[in-house]
Amino acid sequence: MNSYTITFLPGGERVRVEAGTTLLQAMIRAGLHPNAPCGGKGICGKCLVTLADGSRVPACQTPVSSDLTVTVPQGDRARILTRSLRAETRPDGDNAYVLAVDVGTTTLVAYLLDGVTGETLAQASCLNPQGQYGADVISRIQYVMQTGPESMARCVRDALAGLTRQAAGNAGIDPQAIGAAALVGNTAMHHLALGIDPKPLTTPPYMPRVRQTMELPGGELLPIGGTVRVLPNIAGFVGADTVGCMTATRFDRLEELSLLIDIGTNGEMVLGNAQGRTACSTAAGPAFEGAKISCGMRGADGAVDHVYLRDGRIEYHVIGGGQAKGLCGSGLLDLVAVLLDLGYISESGRLKDKAFQLCPAVTLTQKDVREVQLAKSAIRTGIELLAQTRGVPVSRIEAVYLAGAFGNYLTPASACRIGMIPPVLEDRIRPIGNAAGEGAKLCALSRAEFAYSQELAQHTQFLELASLPRFQDMFVDCLNFEEEEP
């Protein structure tokens, strides 16, 4: 079979591939980490590249049949959330330095800590390079089931090794001086990073291959001198990141009836307090992370992140202050809420004129509105069914903790206006930042905290929403944007 040389600009990377290989596959082989939210299915339009003749083509749908020079878009620096609430603990003090790692579906974050005082000395972050195989965990699992786990595990381990060395370098230490690390991530990210077979996550009863805590030699996963403590999973789509959030909030010690939500491509929730707790997950999809939205993008420079009304006019804010390039999740939420208030979007989700142009680079389409409806209905359905399962009305919930980047940046009033969160809870919403990362910090600093994370996971009830007879009816009921009384 013929093979051809592909040269990528502006970096000059070259790779030789066989005829029929797509440009997306060639980019991955060249180590370029392309943006391909749909996993190469040709439906998101986010992997456009420019050929030598000036034409722009989707990389995932363009097979190689000759030597080519291809210009690839330069990635924007994403706004990655590293801040969180601060939970106090007593460090063991056995290690001079420890590391906490949060393996998110979209981003990776590493925190280097003083092992005696608990002070954060340095941190490093980047986009998860697994995004080149798809924005959502299902796309990535399907890729692994077709090709094997090696490439998926290797790309994220290489990225984590780079972050470890970067954080250590910023603090002026050798990575081998790090005596312990702790790692969190949702169940799929946990399995894919560790090279564990993810197939059980795709078939009933959707339980993880590994649920318990793990402690691994550092050299197998991170370039450190000590071991890596991996927090436990609860269920197929309620993972170690949720356990990290519960560890950081001391969830089993809360007196208030509390709802913890981490809204990503998968929405994980926990409802309860010191009297007990129930967790569930719901497939919110990647709409709020920019995928499947016509002008969607990550929260980076050029993204519209907030939309609001001022004196009857629609105004907006752009990250970085320059020209708008697209719409990130918090901006999408605000725009839909504003258009609902102005009557451009009906309660059923019908958009006037089938499109609304906010600015030259940002147009909201009817399909975009439908994606928002699906995402918000998934979250709302989870909240309602959790409350029913615990035998309490939603109005009894006293605190709503929003974890993760989207929860940190969204406007609570907009989330309630579109019905994603019940309006009665608006004044009870408390963003808590990267609480999963904070949980990892605690477990890196203290073996007692690591044991506590296992106890939290073991005693958290899991609710499989799709198995409930009322799930489908509730989901349909929550699709509309009807205005509710707070």
Task: Give the domains, in start order, of the chain with CATH numbers.
Answer: 3-71 (3.10.20.30), 97-250+436-441 (3.30.420.480)
pLDDT of amino acid 368: 96
Inform me whether the pLDDT recorded for 79 exceeds 80: no
pLDDT of amino acid 54: 81
Determine what percent of the chain is predicted with pLDDT higher than 90: 67
Inform me whether the pLDDT recorded for 78 exceeds 60: no
* pTM recorded for the entire structure: 0.86
Q: Which of 4-13, 74-83, 171-180, 336-345 has the lowest mean pLDDT?
A: 74-83
409-464: pLDDT as tens digits:
899 999 999 999 999 999 999 999 999 999 999 999 999 999 999 999 999 999 99
Q: Average of pLDDT values for 207-233?
A: 95
Inform me whether the pLDDT recorded for 40 exceeds 80: no
SS (H, E, C) the chain: CCEEEEEEECCCEEEEEECCCEHHHHHHHCCCCCCCCCCCCCCCCCCEEEECCCCEEEHHHCECCCCEEEECCCCCCECCCCCECCCCCCCCCCCCEEEEEEECCCEEEEEEEECCCCCEEEEEEEECHHHHHCCCHHHHHHHHHHHCCHHHHHHHHHHHHHHHHHHHHHHCCCHHHEEEEEEEECHHHHHHHHCCCCHHHHCCCCCCCCCCCEEEEHHHHCCCCCEEEECCCCECCECHHHHHHHHHHCHHHCCCCEEEEEECCCEEEEEEECCEEEEEEECCCCHHHCCCCCCECCCECCEEEEEEEECCEEEEEECCCCCCCEECHHHHHHHHHHHHHHCCECCCCCEHHHEEEEECCEEEEHHHHHHHHHHHHHHHHHHHHHHHHCCCCHHHCCEEEEEHHHHHHCCHHHHHHCCCCCHHHHHHEEEEECHHHHHHHHHHHCHHHHHHHHHHHHCCEECCHHHCCCHHHHHHHCCCCCCCCC
Q: Average of pLDDT values for 114-122?
A: 96
Determine what percent of the chain is predicted with pLDDT higher than 70: 97
Inform me whether the pLDDT recorded for 39 exceeds 60: yes
Inform me whether the pLDDT recorded for 363 exceeds 70: yes
pLDDT band at 241 (very low <50, low <70, confident <90, very high): very high
Average pLDDT score over the chain: 91
pLDDT of amino acid 138: 87
pLDDT band at 137 (very low <50, low <70, confident <90, very high): confident
242-277: pLDDT as tens digits:
999 999 999 999 999 999 999 877 889 999 999 999
pLDDT of amino acid 420: 97
